Structure 1
Amino acid sequence: MSISNMLASFFRLHVVIRLLIIIMGVLFIFGSLAHLIEPEVFPTIFDGLWWAIVTTSTVGYGDLVPQSPLGKVLAVFLILAGAGFVTFYMAQLSKHVIEAQNAARDGQMTFNGKNHIIIVGWNTRTKNIIQHIQTKAKNISIVLIDGTVKNNPIHSNKVHFIKGDSTQDKTLRQANITFASTLLITADQNKNELQADMHSVLTLIAAKGIHPNIYAITEILTTDQINNAWRAGADEVMESNMFLSHVMTNSLLERGMADIVMLLLDQLHGDKFSFQTIDDKWIGKTFHVAAAHFLGEHKVLIGIKRSKECYVNPSISFVIEKDDSFILIEH
């Protein structure tokens, strides 16, 4: 490798690494000179290097001290040059640590983890979701993407913040979406319903374009955009407005129903509510037979999921088919 290539490679290194290499080189040169000038005081190059490190760090043990005038002149130059380099290095190191902390806080730092969850959009729902995840799965890393907040709204070492537009490849790659396990896209509360849904669908398209196999859950507000979300590759579509409409309607017709629904949802969060893919032995059997079986295992069978349809509390003669899933409540 030519000298010009070596210099080019050196200058491509991070400034802190370059400074460290320079300092070690300067210390080695002064240590070697001390050994050559006063071999009786510094019997080995290591002794000279030890003296140079102790001197530049301003520790000054005094176990090795140059005796000759030339050795003392060398010490003066070491103090002026070496100590200056070390001080400058520590200042640069502190600067880069602070810059890294600020970048992480302001959402400018790239996430390098794997098997993480990406959540798009900051709102009250997102806050509650993150709190529930951290309660149930403390080791899961979460990347929050939002372009409206100034810095990370969650103070946790398991929540990494990316500030930016979730429809842009740059932002998604900054969240390391290629190695993410799950993507949750929440509706943007700063837009009207149609604009929020269009933004969610665009985010979904961008995400699936980079990582086609990521499991994507998308919140959709308007009925007209549901099919677009499915076409864009959503694995689950959540119609939050439809859900709230059902709850409000039931409350109007049956007073107190909203409280019951919220209590049920609070009880069913986490691992109490689950899907179970059926074994072949259940094909052709009735819902009644399956429900009786699971009661013996202290589980309540409340319905059957078939493709994109759910049958809650079907008739006891409802026949189980291939590729169905059980909807269970576990104790």
Structure 2
Amino acid sequence: MAWAYRVMFQVLYHLFHHIVWNPPVPMRIFVLLGTILLYGTTGFVYFELANNPELTWSDGLWYTVVTMTTVGYGDFFPKSAGGRFLVGWPVMVFGIGLLGYALSVVAAALVTSKSKEIKGMSSFALRDHLVIFNFPGLAKVERIVDELRLDPTIGKAMPIVLVDEFLEELPPELVKRGIHFVRGNPVRDGTLSRAAIDSARHAVILCRNPIDPASDNLNVTIALAIEGRNRKTNTVVECVDPASEELLRKAGSDRIVCTSRYDALFLSQELLNPGVQEVMDDLLSATGGQQLYLTTVTRETTLGELTGPCREKGHVAIGVYQRGAVHINPPSEIAVGQGDRIITIGSKRLPEL
């Protein structure tokens, strides 16, 4: 039984040391506030009850609160010397000081919390959110966030978390957009837990250095870390070297975007067909004009049968995406099965067809 007494003694010592001798700030404020309220209420009733027999304890409490907050309605005030100097003065001096101290503690806590979030030291309990990994530059991240916010799939309501190891502080432009920030190694479980990756709906992995093929190695590691925690997360990964695409697929990435391949295509097509860049910018950007959409088909049909419903909703059907193959401008008789996607151009996203 000796060990039980030792444990009990240690628990009592811990409680006595941390609560009695060094109590936390909220408890300290609560105890002091209660003491002042009790002193002011009882003192006011004790000294003023002889002059006003109708006084109640609620009147004393009301007087104390009004005096502490410097409101001073004047409906209750001390008339006796004891009520003025032994109750009124202490309540005013200590009450106002305590109120100022409490407000300063609250303000400091709010500033500290906001500073921790901006510096990436906070943890987030989010669900169905989007996580962006790596910070290649402000302009690129801003453009991605703005484009995603314009589409109802993401919208303005879905929380977005940025994860980066070397960004010291979240830029004000991203703070205004409501972006959360987690600073840390993106492949470590601690960082992923702080970003709530286990309940994330989407993840976008950007290349830390878009001109360095070695950035692909980090993205492969991040993709593996995400898949190890949450296979349901829809992961889109950017890569520099086309040779990294196969490795990213094996790592579990849902979609891969190789920027170097598209750079070459845009350059060559702009040379052969001047104006292609403006056309693609209009089709791919959600800021205005017409966009490309891939809409899931829920029944067995043909492209010709879907053209009419699409046209009624302001869309032009230009192709079919089925079994990983793209068919642009196919014959109208082409069969379209359940789960295939029809490629259209329109001003807003279509529901399932």
Task: State the TM-score, normalized to the length of structure 2.
Answer: 0.77
CA separation of 1:190 and 1:288: change in aligned 2, threshold 3 A: closer
Q: Which deviates further from its counterpart, 59-68 or 196-205?
A: 59-68
Runs of 4+ in 1 over 6 A off after TM superposition: 5-11
DSSP 3-state at the match of 2:78: coil
DSSP 3-state at the match of 1:161: strand
DSSP 3-state at the match of 1:265: helix
CA separation of 1:39 and 1:205: change in aligned 2, threshold 3 A: farther
Q: 1:53 aligned to 2:65?
A: yes
Query: Partner amino acid for 2:229?
Result: I
User: Does the Cα contact within 8 Å between 1:31 and 1:48 map onto a contact in 2?
Assistant: yes
**Aligned ranges 1:26-105 → 2 under 5 Å:** 26-34=35-43, 35-40=45-50, 41=52, 43-71=55-83, 72-105=85-118
CA distance in 2, matches of 1:140, 1:47: 50
DSSP 3-state at the match of 1:280: coil
Note the C-alpha offset of 1:31: 3.5
CA distance in 1, matches of 2:191, 2:167: 15
Aligned to 2:176: 156
**Aligned ranges 1:119-130 → 2 under 5 Å:** 119-122=132-135, 123=137, 124-130=139-145
Select which of 270, 273, 277 maps to 2:296: 277
Q: 1:207 aligned to 2:216?
A: no
User: Does the Cα contact within 8 Å between 1:31 and 1:45 map onto a contact in 2?
Assistant: no
DSSP 3-state at the match of 2:167: coil
Note the C-alpha offset of 1:318: 4.3
CA separation of 1:294 and 1:75: change in aligned 2, threshold 3 A: closer
Note the C-alpha offset of 1:317: 5.8
Q: CA-to-partner distance for each residue in 1:161-184, whole Å, 9 max, x for gaps?
A: 223322222222222333332111
Q: 1:131 aligned to 2:146?
A: yes
Superposed CA RMSD in Å reads: 3.2
User: Does the Cα contact within 8 Å between 1:220 and 1:226 map onto a contact in 2?
Assistant: yes
Select which of 317, 323, 328 maps to 1:312: 328
Note the C-alpha offset of 1:219: 0.9
Aligned to 1:227: 246
Aligned to 1:250: 269
Query: Partner amino acid for 2:181?
Result: F
Note the C-alpha offset of 1:16: 5.8
CA distance in 2, matches of 1:157, 1:27: 44
Query: Partner amino acid for 1:21?
Result: F
Unmatched segments (≥5 aa) in structure 1: none
CA separation of 1:212 and 1:36: change in aligned 2, threshold 3 A: farther
Aligned to 2:7: none
CA distance in 2, matches of 1:8, 1:46: 36
Note the C-alpha offset of 1:126: 1.8
DSSP 3-state at the match of 1:119: strand
Note the C-alpha offset of 1:132: 2.1
Aligned to 1:175: 195
CA distance in 1, matches of 2:283, 2:24: 54
DSSP 3-state at the match of 2:336: coil
CA distance in 2, matches of 1:232, 1:8: 52
Note the C-alpha offset of 1:293: 6.5
Unmatched segments (≥5 aa) in structure 2: 1-10, 348-353
Q: CA-to-partner distance for each residue in 1:277-325, whole Å, 9 max, x for gaps?
A: 223331xx4x556557645654322222223332333456644345322
Note the C-alpha offset of 1:110: 2.8
Select which of 297, 300, 303 maps to 2:319: 303
Q: Which deviates further from its counterpart, 78-87 or 176-185?
A: 78-87
User: Does the Cα contact within 8 Å between 1:31 and 1:46 map onto a contact in 2?
Assistant: no
CA separation of 1:135 and 1:327: change in aligned 2, threshold 3 A: closer
Aligned-pair identity in percent equals 20
Q: CA-to-partner distance for each residue in 1:7-61, whole Å, 9 max, x for gaps?
A: 79979xx956435522441233114422244334582222222222222223334
Aligned to 2:5: none
Note the C-alpha offset of 1:217: 1.0
DSSP 3-state at the match of 1:107: coil
CA distance in 2, matches of 1:7, 1:309: 71
CA distance in 2, matches of 1:73, 1:292: 88
CA distance in 2, matches of 1:288, 1:156: 46
Q: CA-to-partner distance for each residue in 1:136-180, whole Å, 9 max, x for gaps?
A: 433333222223333222242522222332222222222233333
CA distance in 2, matches of 1:112, 1:19: 29
CA separation of 1:210 and 1:19: change in aligned 2, threshold 3 A: farther
Query: Partner amino acid for 1:54?
Result: V
User: Does the Cα contact within 8 Å between 2:270 and 2:277 map onto a contact in 1?
Assistant: no
CA distance in 2, matches of 1:68, 1:297: 82
DSSP 3-state at the match of 2:186: coil
Query: Partner amino acid for 2:240?
Result: L
DSSP 3-state at the match of 1:212: coil
